[in-house]
Structure formats: C-alpha cells, structure tokens
Copies of this chain bind each other. A is one copy, B any other.
Amino acid sequence: MSSPAFHPHDHGHCIATALAQAEQVVAARGLRLTPVRRRTLEILLERHGAMGAYDVLERLAEDGFGHQPPVAYRALDFLVENGLAHRIRRINAFTACLHPGEDHHAAFLICRACNGVAEIPAARLRAVMEAGAAEADFSIERVNLEALGLCPECRMAEAGGKA
C-alpha cells in the first residue's frame, strides 16, 4: 500500500484508526489522552496536511481551550513525543501520524502549494543514513527526512494554470 495521502480515499477510516491506535498507545504507556490532547490530534487528523502551532492554537481557542501558545505547544509536544504526530521542521509545522504504535522511521513529502503531507516508510533511508554516520563516527539520535515539492493535484493545477 503506497501512501493514500495524495489520492482519494476513505479518510474517515484514517481518522478512526489513528484515534483508536492513539488511545491504545497512550493507555499502554500509562498516560492520558486528555481533552486538549485529543482535540489537537483530531485537528491534525482532519487532513493529510501540516499545520502550524498557531493555527492549531486558534482552533483550540475556538473550542474553548486556552488562547496562549503553550497550550498548543504542550499538546503538540505530547503527541510528538508519543509518536502520535510528527514535526515537520522544513515548514515549522506538525502533522498527525497515520500509524502510531508501530515504531517507524518516517520520511515526509510536503506539498509546497497545499501543505499536504504524505508519510513514507524510511527504514532504508534511515539505514543509509546510519551507514554514513558510522563512517564519521557519529551517533545518530533523531533524523529528519523531508522533501518539498508538489503533490499530483497541485502539479496539475500549476501546469493547468500556465496553459
């Protein structure tokens, strides 16, 4: 199964399974998926896309949660630390993880036009990276593998716009 992110699919299914798995992960670790945290995850799950912390915050505020940056950052950090979301450094944004629980190394395809994000498996990438690091006697702790470009839809739109 390749990433459905950029293609039509039953996204309700994505959301349902991601939430269910999130519950499990959190329970297994003896942590709590509190209202803010859950809502934050739901917001991220609305699209296969990335959202800035301040956009998330705005949504949370609308829902009656706090209005200050730490409210969003704390929830987002919680999700990231527990593998329920990923941070996309390239665009200072966050995206929900589609298959939390599975200990995976992910890479990201980021559409510069629509902020869409697809998560692709990165086991091989990680391995190659580790090999390079070994040669330099460097010990890797975290990796960020991100590609910026155009998703199929936005590529069409750009090509069409020129015509």
Contacts and interface: CB of A to CB of B under 8 A. Distances in A.
Interface in A53-108: 89-90, 107
Interface residues of A, number: 40
A137 B152 contact: yes
Contacts of A89: 89-90, 144, 146
A2 B133 CA distance: 10
**Total identical chains:** 2
Contacts of A142: 147-149
A163 to B, nearest CB: 18
Contact of A107 (B112, B124, B129): B129
A118 B147 contact: no
Nearest to A89: B89
Contacts of A122: 132
Nearest to A142: B148
